Structure formats: C-alpha cells, structure tokens
Chain A
Amino acid sequence: MATSERVNENVGRRFDNGNEVLFCTHCNQELQGSSATYLSNLPRYEGPLSEAGPQVFADSSVFVDAPVVFRQYYCPGCFTVFHTEVVPS
C-alpha cells in the first residue's frame, strides 16, 4: 500500500516509531494532529471580505443574511498561509 510523505506543498509527513508526524515544509515546525485534523490546531485569523483581495465582492449583505468571512490558517512557526477561505461564518 502506498505511503505518502506529504499532505501538500506546505505540510510534510514522516513517521517516528510508527507515529505520524506532520511538519511545515518551509520551516520544519512540527504540527499538532493528523493529516485529517491538523488544520483545526493551527493559528487562524478571521476578518472582513476586503482582505481576500479585490477579486472578492466585499459586502455579503447585498446577497445573503449570514455573515461571510475571510479566514486563514497559518503555520505556527513561519506563518505561511496553509489554508484560505471565504465562507459563511
């Protein structure tokens, strides 16, 4: 069965004594959790849609009632962005 050494370009994977260890490929910072759960353990920021860039319509209230936010998750070591989303809060 195949075994992967990466989750994506930001998150690498190795095994220490059979235990999965994730790490940032940019600064080697070890990450908490498994490949399925690590995102929820990362520092994160939630802010206005205007921070998503000029390509995203900034006033969600024109269309929907639910607040829509810009959210990012970072490496706790080097603060490389690991995940960006524009979603209902």
Chain B
Amino acid sequence: MRISLDWIKDYVELPSGLEVSRLARDLTMSTVEVEGASELRKRFSHIVIGEVLDVLPHPNADKLRICRTDIGGGETKEIVCGGINLTPRMRVAVAKPGAVVRWHGEGEPVEIKNARLRGVESYGMICASSEIGLFDLFPFEEEATIMDLSEFGAPNGTNLADALGLDDVILEIDNKSLTNRPDLWGHYGIARELAALYGLPMKPLPAFAPRDGAAGMNVAIEDPELCARYIGVKIEGVSPKPSPFKAQSRIWRVGMRPINSLVDITNYVMLAVGQPAHAFDSDNIEGHIAVRRARAGERLLLLNGRELSLTESDLVIADDEGPVGLAGVMGGAKDSVLDTTERVILEIANFEPIGLRRSAQRHELRTEASMRNEKGIDPQRADLALGLAMEMFRDEFPDMRVTGFDDNYPRELKRASIRVSLSWMARRMGTRIDDAEVRGMLERLGFGVRMDGDDMNVVVPSWRSTGDVSIPDDIMEEAARLRGYENFEPAAIVTSFEGAVNQRDADADRGIREYLSFRCGMQEVFTYPWVRGEFLSVTSDTTEGLLEISTPPSPNERFIRSSLLPNILKAVAENTRFFGEFAIYESGQVFYDADYSSPYDARESLPRGARSVAGAVVGRQSSASDLFRRAKGIVEWMPRYVHMAPFEFARGEKPVWADGAACLDVRLDHETVGKLALLSKKSALACGIKSSAVTLFELNIDSLKPHASRTNRYTRLPEYPRVEYDISMTFDETSEWEEIERTARGKKHPGGGDLVKSVSFVGVYRGKQVPDGKKSVTMRLVMGSDKKTLTSDEIEAAAGQIVKRLSKTLGGELRS
C-alpha cells in the first residue's frame, strides 16, 4: 500500500522538523513495516515549466519543429520537437540537460543532454506525459502529443513538481504487515496511528446528515450475517467530468488511475478511509436494491466485460431484474457509469469478509475493493466514507440533489470490552510503566479506559473491534508497542536446572550423520519428500501404500517417499555428470499410507512414518566388488562407532533394484532393519547412470538400539608376545569366507590350548597360479599364549593344525 504524506497532513499536523526517515522508522517499529520512502519531486528534477513562443519549421525534417521556448529566468532556448499539438503560447514541460526521461515512455531511463537534431542545435526536450511518467494524469490518444500545461499558473522556469503540486513523499507499506490491521488500510488510519505515536490531535472528517424525508431509496438486506450495513444514496445532477487536478493527482500518486469524477470520488474515499465505495448509474436500476445470495445459475456481466456464472455462495447486489454487481468485488456492466450518466447511486456497504474472499477467488477477481473488504472492515467506518464522499459530490457538483437515502444497518458492531490487570501487564513486560502513561497511550489510540484499582476496564474503539483486539494480551501489546520495544531493556532468562539433557535418540541421529560424514567420507545431502516417477519405478514395482500430495509440485512428483533411495538415485545420476567416485547419504523421514495411529493426540490420526538413513557409494564399474565391500564396511562398523547394538548380515529377499549377486539384509536381533546391495545394471540404466557402479544401503533408524552409554569393555594387554602368521590356501570358488573363518577358528581347545587369538581376512587372489574354479584366500592368524613366549615349533604346529582342518573340512590346499 502506498501512502502520500501530503495526504496524511489533511488529517494530522505532523511535528515540524520530523524527518521522513524517522517517521518511517517509528511506523516500522510500532505499527507497520515501511519498505521505502521516496520523494516524488526527485523524479522531476531539471524539468521546468516553459512557454512556447514560436513554432518554426525544421529545415531538414518535415515532422520536426523548432520551438523558441521561454524557460524562465529570462532565458529563451531553441528546442527541436516532434510534437503534433505545438502552438505558440502553449505551456509545456521542458526537460533540461540533466533530467531523466524515457523515450516515448518506453525502455530504460536516459539522461537528457544538449544535442543536434538533423543539423539543428536543441536545448533539452519538450515532453510528452508518458516520457516523464505522467501518462495516467495526462493521457493522450495520438502519438507525439505534447503535455499541455497551459491551465497551470506557475511562472515559467518553475520546477514541474512545484507547478503541479507534486511535492510529496510516498511511503511504501508492506501489505503483509497490515494483515491483522484492517483499520490501517487508507490514509486516515495511518494518520490516526501517527497522531497516537506523536501525541497529536486528529482533524475531524466531514459528516453527512440526510435531510428529513429523502425517500426514494430502500435497500433490502436478505442476510445480515453477510451484509452488516448498506448505505445507498441516490444523487441527481452529476456527470462524469474530470476530477479536480488535486484529487486526480493524489489518486495517481498512490498507484491508481484517475477515470472521471464519479469513479474518482469513490476511489478517493476508499484510499482516504479504507472503506470501498461504488457509484452506479441509477437509471438502469429496475425497482429496489437488494443484497442477497445469488441463485444457482444466475449470470452477471461485469463492468470489465467478463460474464460470471454465479452460485449460491456468491453475494450479489441485485435489482428487481437480477444481479447488478458482485458484492464488494466488482460492479456490473448494466449499471456502470457512462458518459451520459446524470443520476447515480452511491453505495457504501459492509460485507462479510470470508465469503467475499472465497467468491473473489472462485471468479479469479482481485480488485482494490475486494482486497480491502476481505480484511474485515468495521461497519462504523461507512460513516467516515459517507461524509467525505458527500462533501466531494457537493464540491464538484454544487447543483446536485440527494433524492434518496437509506442506511440499512441490521448488525451493529459491538465494541469489545476488556479487563486488564496492571500488575500482570508489568510482569509480562518485565517493567512497570506508570499507570497514567499506560492510560494515556491507550486513549491516544482511541481506547476508552477506566481505572479500577489494579485493573483497567478498556473499551476498544470500533475500528479495532473486528477481532484484532480482544484479550488482555492485545491491550498489553498496544501499550508496549506505543512505548517502543527498543525501550525495553533485555531481561535475563531465569530458570532452574533439574539435570543435564540426555537424549539417546537425538544423539544417535547425530552420531550416525557424523560417522558417515567424518569417518566414512560421505557427503550429506537433502532431497525433497516427494519422489519423481522415473526413480520411484526403479526402486519399487508398485505405488501401492504410498501417500500422495493432492496438489503436487508437478504431476510427476505426487508420491511421498517411503524410502530415501529414489531421491538418492536421482542425486547419484545427477552427480555422475561431474564426478566419477563419490559417496552420499541422506537422513530423513519416510511415510506409508498404512497403520494410522494417534501417538500424540486421540483427535488426530497420523500415517506410519519412520526415520531412515540411506547412502550410495559410487565408483567405476570395474570396481563394483570394492564398492560393495566399502559400503558393507560402512554399515558393519556403524554400530561400533555410534554406540549401538551390532548388526548381522544375511541373504534376504532381493529388492527389485538390486543386483542379485550382491545383496544383503541388515539385521538386528533377527529383525531386518535395512538393505545393502549393488544397484543392478538394468536399474542403473533406468536412472540414467551409464558407466558407474553404485552400492546402496538404507537403514531404519527407529529400529536401531543406541546404548545408554559407551559400552565396550577393556581387554588387558598381553604379557607375552603375539605373532602374526599369514596363510594362503586355495579353495573351491563356492567356499565362503565366513565358513573358512569359522573352520580356521575351530572349537575352543580344552586345556587352554587356544593359541590362535584371531583369524582375519587379508585378500582373495585369482590368477595364473590358481587353477580355474579355485581361489586363493590369504588369512592372517594372530597367535600367542598367556603363559609363555611361543617357540617357532609351537607356532608352526598350531598353524599346521589349522591348515589340516581347512583341507579336511573344505578341501583347501596350502600354496607354497
């Protein structure tokens, strides 16, 4: 919303010497956010009134003229101009060198310089209104029409802003900050706020009292819930002539377009007090005005030419024949003001805001009137609008007659009344403001205050009684904001500690991320909760059990993820364009359209959800097995580093996306808590991943069991030396490491003969020296005794036992 300070001064005399920046800051701190303040005259610097003395032909161009122009201060300049309406004695706007204009009202602003035009020296430029941003105030039809300022009396050389009375500052107010303050829409409301801030009196607005017996007008309100008040005034002896320049200029300054006096009066009133008004031609009204719900199937041709098909949810203004306007949104074509209009009905009405907003939305109409009406305006404001409008009608049409008047006001607004404790207020503010100061501030804002011991009885003014101010906290806010929040010293937070914060789940969640990022070298990513169809179809062959968004970001993104994998795959596919080897993961929530429950509140029913973590280890296709081992290691070691119960791996059901040769279930206490697998070539291709191998894992974080604290126990350091001993043996390809390891470890020997402390995997070799169908496995034994240092014979004997066991059980052969 734009606010003209010049206009504000109609209603309140601002303190002299108050700087605009200060005013903007005060409003921002206490009332509404001022996004900017611009001086209107800056747009017209170096543009002055000039008078054309002679219009001479241009020697080299038919369309150009040379105008000898008096630009004041005794200076006469020759200006080359292509205007089609130039005549001697015409007064014009001259843009002198240094002025900024837009050529023909289009493109970027350019600075005027002295120039030669077709061989003739020209001083500056004579302007068309569009070239200096004044088209809406000085419209023209034919191209190259020069702005004629002959009516304006200012002497030649006067700056254009002064000559046109455009010495003004325009405030830009953030509409969002007005949401809950319908009283502030309009200059009068902002003026009232400034008066309260600076402790100044408001100037009264004119009032209108109809003379007795002005009949001829009778408005029926069918449903007072939808229309609290409707004032109709029938006025004769008017015409749609241009408004006085000052009114036009004000309307233009705050962003609307002057049309004609009849329309301008209603717009002016709306911009002044925030109450929309409407004028329509009464000759085209048949019978009486009624405010009623539309009947299903009724049609309404709007004044903008659109025809609406109405429903019973629409509120209309109707005559005996049918709807003539969509209430509070837009008037109809039938009764719109035309060039021939002589009699009008002025409508100032109060409509129920919610239905009106829905109606406007349904018909995709957003007008200045609907914008204000849907905020909820107090019905008493109609009186201000009426007084101001009638004064303007009388000023512009001294001979006009009021031939009908009806003020149908079935639902008067009750002013809210609130009891507030002063000591409570002091506690909330953290400081006690003097009682008289509180009272004074509230009264300046229009509240009625009666003190009653520690209590105040506060009566809320009508313009704040629309729901905005209704509880003691609102009253406290009024006093605090008027005092200025910056005038409250920051207070300390006082509390008692009952113990340290100990949150196992939150710690585990963070522990997992830090483990994956810092230990495993993976990059955390964020993706969206919705998944794209092409990736979803890779990880799942059904969309059953998935939740759907009713108005999704795109038709292809309507399902909500029940697994993080589709989005991880999308991220992998996109990153393979730039990177060959990388590892990423995401930790987030997933959902299923199943198992609805009420974990927090019996009144709601929420779908099953889980916290999940999924990762991808990506590299060259030739290193798929290494990638799998790396991913397996990441999952395998997670419980140890994050301090959780350990996992087991087992062959399980193959997910549709997995390579059957490299696919494992991750289990915890025999329950499957996750999957680990190589992405199949087919799935990779479907994701657009062409030359990379990808190993994926996903774990359900909610199923993991974080320990209460760090749980591992210390092992005493050995007293006697330990020896590492490597064995390489060939086995059938079908022999698995787990089996080899188990066999190598053997059963514990009775009598403490367990010299082998550990058996660990070193590597697998296949090659020339190893026959087909066989593989060579290297393992490392750590041997030692707790009683003595082993001799080499004892070491060889123990190793020999293991070799023998492996040959006997698994057919292993020692390699030389």
* A, B assembled together: no
Chain A residues at the B interface, C-beta cutoff of 8 Å: none
